[in-house]
Structure 1
Amino acid sequence: MAVKMTGDELVEVLRDTVVALVRRDGPDLSARQLGVFLTAYLAEGPHTVRGLAASLNVSKPAITRALDRLGELDLTRRKTDPQDRRSVLVQRTAKGTSLLRDMSTIMGEAVAMPQGTATVEAANSENKARHAV
């Protein structure tokens, strides 16, 4: 059964999620990078720079910059389209899939804890434990 949340509650979940992501070890993503990442992972592909730009209604250079950063972090990779060598496809990676799974967990905890503070602390504890191994 779907949980009906108010706009304020949804914003709280977003805040908790972003704060937990920012507090994780390592670099965090800008809003644009996160938008490109989530679109590449959640929307049906295949994805191209042109397609992502159209989907997000931003310029192709903005998508290229976001993909450059996502590639540096091994969250996406680019591959020449074998059907059309002029086109470049955006591919998912194992590290990106792991980040998406972590984000889903963080958001689930934020939904379960409307006050939010416990969610951020739980994410920090989980992240520290994962990096201690």
Structure 2
Amino acid sequence: MAQARTTSIRTAAGKAASAKTQSGTVADELVTVLRDTVVSLVRRDGPDLSSRQLAVFLTCYLQEEGHTVRGLAAELNVSKPAITRALDRLGELDLARRKVDPLDRRSVLVQRTLKGAAYLREIRSIMGEASAPKKAEKETRAGRRAA
């Protein structure tokens, strides 16, 4: 009975180690895709966004609800002036614009733009290209294991 429990513990430990290795591999792949995407964005003709500007941009474009400077600051856990600076840059590039809320003139709404939507499509395309070799490599490895 003790031997069966020891074997069971070893099996569980082996599975946990395997899961940890797999999640580490996934994380490594995601970091590589992120790096390749950022490098592609930097190399192409067009605006370079800081990580904060990119975080504000992606938050505005990937979440459907309306955004305010105050709400973005709370969600990203940064100061309102930091959001304002990021939005200044996004506004210069016509990737987002600010508008005073007509219902509450103290509040500033963040609006999407057509150029911003095109930029998001470009990011998605670059990320797809960056992740394609990783997917092909993973499928090749899985095919070898199955054979």
Q: Normalising to structure 2: TM-score of the pair?
A: 0.73
RMSD between aligned residues: 1.6
Structure 2: runs of 5+ lacking an equivalent = 1-22, 136-147
Q: Which runs of 4+ in 1 moved over 3 A?
A: none
The structure with the largest alpha-carbon Rg is 2
Structure 1: runs of 5+ lacking an equivalent = 116-133
Q: Distance in 2 between matches of 1:26 and 1:13?
A: 20
Residue 86 of structure 1: CA displacement?
A: 1.3
Count of paired positions: 112
- Higher share in helix: 2
> Any conservation in 2 of the 1:12–1:114 contact (CA below 8 Å)?
no
Q: Distance in 2 between matches of 1:88 and 1:27?
A: 24
Q: Normalising to structure 1: TM-score of the pair?
A: 0.80
Give the structure 2 partner of residue 25 of structure 1: 45
Q: Distance in 2 between matches of 1:59 and 1:73?
A: 22
Give the fraction of aligned pairs with identical amino acids, expressed as a percent: 75
The 5-angstrom pairing of residues 1-133 of structure 1 reads 6-114=26-134
Q: Distance in 2 between matches of 1:79 and 1:65?
A: 15
**Residue aligned with 2:123, SS:** helix
Residue 105 of structure 1: CA displacement?
A: 0.7
